[in-house]
Structure 1
Amino acid sequence: MKNLPNLSRYLPILSWGKTYNQLSLTNDLVAAVIVTIMLIPQSLAYAMLAGLPPQMGLYASILPITLYAIFGTSRALAVGPVAVVSLLTAASISRIAAPGSEEYIFAAITLAFLSGVFLLAMGIFRLGFMANFLSHPVIAGFITASGIIIAASQLKNIFGIEAHGHNLVQILSSMSGYLGEINWITATIGILTAAFLFWVRKGLLPLLRGLGLPKRTAEIIAKTGPVAAIVATTLLVWAFDLKSAGVEIVGAVPQGLPPLTVPGFSLELWTSLLSSAVLISVIGFVESISVAQTLAAKKRQRIDPDQELIGLGAANIGAAFTSGFPVTGGFSRSVVNYDAGADTPAAGAYTAVGLMFASLFLTPLIFFLPKATLAATIIVAVLSLVDFSILGKAWRYSKADFIAVAATMFITLVVGVEVGVITGVLVSILIHLYKSSRPHIATVGQVPNSEHFRNVLRHDVITHPNILTVRVDESLYFANARFLEDHLFERVARRTELRDVILMCSAINAIDMSALESLEAINERLCDMGVSFHLSEIKGPVMDQLVDTDFLKHLTGEIFLSQKIAVDRLSQT
Structure 2
Amino acid sequence: MKQHGADFKTLQGTAMQQGLWGLFRHRIYNLAMLRQDATAALIVSLLLIPQSLAYALLAGLPLQAGLYASILPAMAYALFGTSGVLAVGPVAITSLLTFSALSPLAMPGSAEYVALAILLALLSGGCLLLMGALRMGFLANFLSHPVMSAFVSASALIILLGQLKGVTGIPLQSGTLQTLLLSFYHGMGTLHLNTLLLSSFFLAFLYWARHSMAGLLMKYGLSQSAANLTSRMAPMLLLLVATAGVAFFKLDQAGIKVVGELPIGLPLLQLPSITAEVLLLLLPMAVMISLVGFAESVAIARTFAARRRQQVNSNRELLGLGVANLAAGLSASFPVTGGLSRSVVNHDAGSITPMASILTGLGMLLVLFFLTGWLYYLPQAMLSAVIMVAVFSLIDWKQLPYLWRYSRGDALAWLATAMGVLFLGIELGLMLGVMVSLASWLAKNSRPHVAVVGRLPGTEHYRNVQRYDVELHPSILSLRIDESLMFANAQEVEQRVLDEVGQRPELQHVILMGSGINHIDASGVEVLEQLNRLLKEQGVLLHLSEIKGPVLDRLKLIDFPKHLTGQVFLTQHQAMQALS
Aligned position for 2:446? 437
Matched residue, 1:315 = 324
| Mapped contact 1:263–1:321 kept (Cα < 8 A) | no
| CA–CA distance in structure 1, aligned partners of residues 402 and 444 of structure 2 | 20
The answer to which of 77-86 and 393-402 deviates more is 393-402
Partner in structure 1 of residue 43 of structure 2? 34
Specify which of 36, 50, 56 is matched with residue 65 of structure 2: 56
The one-letter amino acid of 1:472's match is I
Change (3 A) 1:187 1:9: closer
Q: What's 2:23 paired with?
A: 16
Contact residue 107 and residue 264 of structure 1 kept, 8 A: no
Query: What SS does structure 1 have at the residue aligned with 2:371?
Result: helix
Q: Is 1:276 equivalent to 2:285 in the alignment? A: yes
Aligned 8 A contact 2:16 2:23 in 1: no
Aligned pairs for 1:232-243 within 5 A: 232-243=241-252
Query: What is aligned with 2:240?
Result: 231
- The aligned amino acid for 1:303 is V
Match of 1:467 in 2: 476
The SS at the match of 1:430 is helix
Tell me, yes or no, if the aligned pair for 1:60 and 1:322 is still in contact at 8 Å: yes
Structure 2 Cα separation of the partners of residues 290 and 215 of structure 1: 25
The equivalent of 1:78 in structure 2 is: 87
Between 1:45-54 and 1:461-470, the stretch displaced more is 461-470
Q: Secondary structure at the match of 1:444?
A: strand
Q: Give 3-state SS (helix, strand or coil) of 2:452's partner.
A: strand
Equivalence map 1:180-259=2 (5 Å): 180-213=189-222, 218-259=227-268
Higher deviation after alignment, 98-107 or 201-210: 201-210
The residue identity in structure 2 corresponding to 1:15 is: G
Q: 1:265 deviation in Å?
A: 2.6
Question: Which residue does 1:65 correspond to in 2?
Answer: 74
- 1:543 correspondence with 2:570: no
Matched, 1:102 2:111: yes
CA deviation digits over 1:494-513, x for unaligned, max 9? Answer: 22222221111111122122
TM-fit CA distance, 1:264: 3.6
Work out the CA distance in 2 between the residues paired with 1:245 and 1:186: 9
Secondary structure of the 1:470 match is: strand
Distance in 2 (CA, whole Å) between partners of 1:506 and 1:212 is 58
Would the aligned equivalents of 1:470 and 1:502 in 2 still touch at CA under 8 Å?
yes
Deviations 1:470-524 (Å, cap 9, x if unpaired)?
Answer: 1111111122111111111122222222222111111112212211111111111
- Residue 214 of structure 1, CA deviation: 5.2
Q: Tell me which amino acid in the other structure corresponds to 2:545.
A: S
Question: 2:295 — aligned with what?
Answer: 286
2:231 & 2:559 partners in 1: Cα distance? 72
Q: Does 1:149 align with 2:149?
A: no
1:387 alignment partner, SS class: coil
- SS of the residue aligned with 1:97? coil
Structure 1 position 557, deviation (Å): 2.0
The Cα of 1:536 is off from its aligned counterpart by: 1.3
User: For residues 479 and 219 of structure 1, do their structure 2 counterparts lie closer, same or farther at Cα, with a shift above 3 Å needed?
Assistant: closer
Is the 8 Å Cα contact of residues 53 and 64 (structure 2) preserved in structure 1?
A: yes
Paired position in structure 1 for 2:181: 172
Structure 2 Cα separation of the partners of residues 458 and 125 of structure 1: 46
Supply the distance in 2 between the matched residues of 1:322 and 1:121 (Cα, whole angstroms): 21
Structure 2: which 5+ residue stretches go unaligned? 1-11
What's the secondary structure of 1:19's corresponding residue? coil
Please give the alpha-carbon distance, in whole angstroms, between the structure 1 residues aligned to 2:366 and 2:272.
25
C-alpha distance in 1 between matches for 2:241 and 2:64? 20
Q: Which residue of 1 aligns with 2:127?
A: 118
Q: Mapping of 1:335-484 within 5 angstroms?
A: 335-484=344-493
Does the CA contact (< 8 Å) of 2:17 and 2:312 recur in 1? no
Distance 1:527 1:107, change over 3 A: same
Amino acid of the structure 1 residue aligned with 2:207 = F
Residue 14 of structure 1 aligns with an amino acid whose one-letter code is W
* Secondary structure of 2:454's aligned partner: strand
What amino acid is the match of 2:84? R
Q: Which amino acid counterpart does residue 508 of structure 1 have in structure 2? A: I
The CA deviation at 1:9 is 8.7
Aligned to 1:570: 579
- Partners of 2:15 and 2:23 within 8 A in 1: no
Deviation at 1:48, TM superposition (A): 0.3
Q: TM-score, normalised by structure 2?
A: 0.94
1:143-191: CA deviation from partner (whole Å, max 9, x where unpaired): 1111111111001111011101222221111111011211010001111
Partners in 2 of 1:85 and 1:212 — Cα distance? 39
Q: Give the whole-Å Cα distance in 1 for the aligned partners of 2:180 and 2:497.
A: 55
User: In the alignment, residue 238 of structure 1 is paired with which amino acid?
Assistant: A
User: Once the two structures are superposed, what CA deviation does each residue of 1:201-222 show, in whole Å capped at 9, x if it has no partner?
Assistant: 1222222222234556545543
Q: Using a 3 Å threshold, how does the CA distance of structure 1 residues 173 and 520 change in structure 2: closer, same or farther?
A: same
Change (3 A) 1:19 1:554: closer
Task: Give distance in 2, aligned partners of 1:244 and 1:295.
Answer: 46
**In the aligned structure 2, how far is the partner of 1:178 from the partner of 1:97?**
23
How large is the Cα RMSD of the aligned pairs?
1.7
Measure, in 2, the Cα distance between the counterparts of 1:212 and 1:548: 70
Q: Hey, what's the Cα distance between the residues in 2 that align with 1:465 and 1:302?
A: 53
Contact 1:10 1:71 survives alignment (8 Å): no
Helix, strand or coil for the counterpart of 2:480?
strand
1:65 alignment partner AA: A
Overall identity of the aligned pairs, in %: 48
Answer with 309-318 or 345-354: which moved more: 345-354
CA contact (8 A) 2:456 2:463 kept: yes
- Change in 2 beyond 3 A, CA 1:564/1:260: same
Cα shift readout 1:313-363 (whole Å, capped 9, x = no counterpart) = 000000110111000000000010000000111111111111111111211
Distance 1:339 1:185, change over 3 A: same
Q: CA deviation at 1:11?
A: 5.1
Does the CA-based 8 Å contact 1:263-1:320 persist in structure 2?
no
CA, structure 1 residues 215+398, in 2 after alignment: closer, same or farther (shift >3 Å)? closer
- Aligned partners of 1:81 and 1:330 also within 8 Å: yes
Q: C-alpha displacement at 1:262, in angstroms?
A: 1.1
Q: Is the 8 A contact 2:171 2:187 kept in 1?
A: yes
- Say how many residue pairs are matched: 566
Deviation at 1:447, TM superposition (A): 0.7
Find the residue that maps to 2:495 and give its secondary structure: helix
Q: Give the deviation of 1:239 after TM superposition.
A: 2.7
Deviation at 1:257, TM superposition (A): 2.1
**Alpha-carbon separation, structure 2, partners of 1:550 and 1:351:** 61
**Contact 2:17–2:311 at 8 Å: present in 1 too?**
no
In 2, Cα distance between the equivalents of 1:11 and 1:543? 37
Structure 2 equivalent of residue 494 of structure 1: 503
Q: Partners of 1:473 and 1:404 in 2: how far apart?
A: 24
Residue matched to 1:132:
141
- In structure 1, the residue corresponding to 2:488 is in which secondary structure? coil
CA contact (8 A) 1:149 1:168 kept: yes
**8 Å CA contact retained: 1:78, 1:329:** yes
Q: For residue 447 of structure 1, what is the amino acid of its counterpart?
A: L
